[in-house]
């Protein structure tokens, strides 16, 4: 376990607000990063994706960097354009 991982584990143990906010923020970042990776692997630029989604490049950037309040239909269209399948799991 790295020093960073040890710090996060200890901080989450001692600070409930940090723990809740950390997990929420991590999940938002994770979704955005997954979308970004899929876009790059598909060879599609933010500009091209924005045109195909009928939005602005800045909106794509916000999705990839913040991933907050994304509509399911937007995620489905994002996946479709990249030739991917959207799958959501509750575990």
Segment holding 52, helix H or strand E: helix 46-52
Above 90 in pLDDT, residue 44?
yes
**pLDDT category of residue 7 using cuts at 50, 70 and 90:** confident
Q: pTM of the entire structure?
A: 0.64
What average pLDDT does the segment 14-28 reach?
A: 72
What average pLDDT does the segment 66-91 reach?
A: 84
Cα 74 from Cα 47, distance rounded (Å): 16
């Amino acid at each position: 376990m790295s020093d960073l991982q040890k710090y996060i584990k200890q901080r989450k143990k001692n600070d409930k607000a940090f723990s809740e906010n950390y997990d929420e923020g991590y999940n938002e970042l994770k979704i955005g990063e997954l979308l970004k990776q899929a876009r790059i692997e598909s060879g599609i630029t933010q500009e091209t994706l924005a045109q195909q989604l009928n939005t602005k490049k800045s909106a794509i950037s916000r999705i990839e960097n913040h991933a907050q309040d994304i509509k399911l239909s937007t995620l489905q269209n994002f996946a479709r354009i990249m030739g991917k399948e959207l799958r959501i799991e509750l575990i």
